[in-house]
Structure 1
Amino acid sequence: MNVPPTIPYLQLPAERIGQAPPHHTLPATVRLSTVTLQINDLDASLDYYTRIIGLHLHQQEGRTARLGTPDGQILLELREKKGVKYAPHRGRLGLYHFALLLPTRDDLARFVRNALSLGVHVGAGDHHFSEATYLQDPDGISIEVYRDRPREDWQVTEGGEIVGRGDPLDLQALAATASTTPWTGLPNGTTIGHMHFYVGDLDNAARFYHAGLGFPKVTWSFIAPFGLFMGAGGYHHHIGVNTWAAGSAPSGENDARLLTWDLVLPDQTTLDRTIASLHAEGFATTTTTDGVLASDPWGITVRLRTL
């Protein structure tokens, strides 16, 4: 691939970052929130997500648990369904991974140091805009834990595409930079940074996430022809999609899988515009007591709600 010339991110006016959706554009103030997973064994999952990932248990009712940051921000809900099948790598359409964004590089370094000390297998990559680690829960569901580089360190093309890469990241070197502050789990300020999905094709994925929900396209050629990144407010991506499992069936009722993910909008006006945009693209919405549900062509369901 011929890589076009790049310039520092901040040299390009904000309105020239990415490709705008046709109907409406989500504002920079949107945020991703609770990810709800269907898992096989709640006890095993709670041990993994608290001891290894570092989430804090806040609520448990029956075989459902809610976890998050020390100050009570709920990032993950686990719902047990005994007997669900292990999530096969690139074997189902649906969740590729959900990503936990840490506030600082030292948070990531201490997370890595702790995970390595527990003997956990950790994958890693340097994406230029972020440093990322990858882990797998007891059901085969993938989790990214990462930190962002400052935007002044990002690169873009003159056409407004954010430069993304998949370079190696030395985990031992990263862990060696960790401060002596003890690891007590994920800190306040940790958020759901992005969601990444296996989809059947990029055009229909863009119709839902870009044209429907309103996320601008921000990286396209660097991960072509198998992927697309979309993000609001010039972010490197809130949504990633890839076709690595194209041809597979969507995750089903008896699979370990993503049930819903939450997109939190700043106000009712933005919610109404997003619903209208989805309808304009032919996607149905369902209003419930705790938000508005919409599903992409492969059954991946987002819950839209306001602050």
Structure 2
Amino acid sequence: MTFALHPDTQLGPVKLKVSNLERSIAFYQEIIGFDILRKRDQIVELTADGKETLLILEEVSSGSMYQPGTTLGLYHVAILLPERSDLGLFLKHIIDKRIEIGSADHFVSEAIYLSDPDFNGLEIYRDRPREEWTKVASGDYTMVTERIDVEGLLDSTGEDVWHGLPPQTKIGHIHLHVRDLKESQDFYKSLGFEITVGNMTNVGMLFLAAGGYHHHIGLNIWAGPNALVRSKNAVGLAYYTVMLPNQDELTDLIDHLKATGHKPVEQEIGVWVVLDPIGIEIQLTTESSKNMEEK
């Protein structure tokens, strides 16, 4: 029987390794719009609502950097804004700051792309209402890459001004450079994610999600067959979090992973760790466990 994650499963905090913590803090506060929730030693936790950790930054000793698209691992972390006007305000802010960006209309969403000082990829996006999403005959969501409506985004803001990320901001999805689509697809399906866009493998891309979302996990092989594996002390993705809605669902997932040979390890009470095929650490937890850790 196929295992599926609970429909209310979401992504939680993402941890990035950076080469210069103070430089990264300035970028994520002044450019992206986060606030500092906690800071200790070489680690800072960033928040949008003053309560919940969304992004964790840790300075690594050597901070080795790689050019984008040359290694396995992070392609981008996607930060989901609640309203179109929020994305419009972010666009205004980025224009004022003269930051180089990319952008796209994906039909299910509108997105702005940029990189942090260590070339960690970021997507800032908003979803169109789910009732506007459509599917092709295969059952895959219709997703495209077209020119974004810059004028419409800017007009959506009215007279509002940028005040940083809105409190309802969350981590929307994670997109990874992987070694082999089938290998990673099989792993993420065994984790309980379902394929939502499988008709783009001809261009080296695949999307999966829980609960009928367009994608929580993006996979691509664009870094090529000779893509490097980053060293432990290099900048990049340290881990991302999959949050189950309750302890029963987490227990079911852990039991399933053990039965299928994936060997999850309990890192601390309520937090389990499993590695994907390219060695990316995934922390499995619940909303209640995460909140207890943050107190």
Give your verdict on TM over 0.5. Answer: yes
User: Which residue does 1:263 correspond to in 2?
Assistant: 242
Of residues 227, 241, 254, the one that matches 2:219 is 241
Please tell me whether the aligned partners of residues 292 and 305 of structure 1 are also in contact (alpha carbons under 8 angstroms).
yes
**Inter-partner Cα distance in structure 2 for 1:240 and 1:183:** 29
Of residues 22, 30, 35, the one that matches 1:51 is 30
Q: Secondary structure at the match of 2:135?
A: strand
1:67 aligns with 2:51: no
Percent identity between matched residues is 34
User: Which residue does 2:197 correspond to in 1?
Assistant: 219
User: Which residue does 1:287 correspond to in 2?
Assistant: 266
1:32 aligns with 2:17: no
Please tell me whether the aligned partners of residues 34 and 165 of structure 2 are also in contact (alpha carbons under 8 angstroms).
yes
Alignment of 1:37-186 (within 5 A): 37-171=16-150, 173-186=152-165
Quote the offset at 1:123 in angstroms: 0.7
Of residues 172, 186, 190, the one that matches 1:193 is 172
Quickly say closer, same or farther: Cα 1:123–1:207, change in 2 above 3 A: same
1:273 aligns with 2:252: yes
Bigger mean CA deviation after superposition, 195-204 or 22-31: 22-31
Please tell me whether the aligned partners of residues 194 and 240 of structure 1 are also in contact (alpha carbons under 8 angstroms).
yes
Q: Secondary structure at the match of 1:224?
A: helix
1:152-203 Cα distance to aligned partner (Å, 9 max, x none): 2111023321111111214355224322222111011100000000100111
Q: Secondary structure at the match of 2:189?
A: helix
Q: Secondary structure at the match of 1:50?
A: helix
Bigger mean CA deviation after superposition, 217-226 or 239-248: 217-226
List gaps (5 residues or longer) in structure 2: 288-295
**Inter-partner Cα distance in structure 2 for 1:238 and 1:215:** 8
Bigger mean CA deviation after superposition, 55-64 or 170-179: 170-179
1:297 aligns with 2:277: yes
**Inter-partner Cα distance in structure 2 for 1:186 and 1:219:** 29
Q: Secondary structure at the match of 1:155?
A: coil
Note the aligned Cα RMSD (angstroms): 1.5
List gaps (5 residues or longer) in structure 1: 1-21
Partner amino acid for 1:243? I
**Inter-partner Cα distance in structure 1 for 2:65 and 2:154:** 30
Please tell me whether the aligned partners of residues 42 and 80 of structure 1 are also in contact (alpha carbons under 8 angstroms).
yes
Quote the offset at 1:145 in angstroms: 0.3
**Inter-partner Cα distance in structure 1 for 2:255 and 2:179:** 24
**Inter-partner Cα distance in structure 2 for 1:73 and 1:241:** 27
**Inter-partner Cα distance in structure 2 for 1:143 and 1:48:** 12
**Inter-partner Cα distance in structure 2 for 1:87 and 1:53:** 22
**Inter-partner Cα distance in structure 1 for 2:280 and 2:261:** 16
**Inter-partner Cα distance in structure 1 for 2:260 and 2:175:** 21
Bigger mean CA deviation after superposition, 246-255 or 122-131: 246-255
**Inter-partner Cα distance in structure 2 for 1:179 and 1:56:** 25
Quickly say closer, same or farther: Cα 1:245–1:278, change in 2 above 3 A: farther
TM-score, length-scaled by structure 2: 0.92
**Inter-partner Cα distance in structure 2 for 1:182 and 1:167:** 27
Quote the offset at 1:223 in angstroms: 4.9
Partner amino acid for 1:41? N
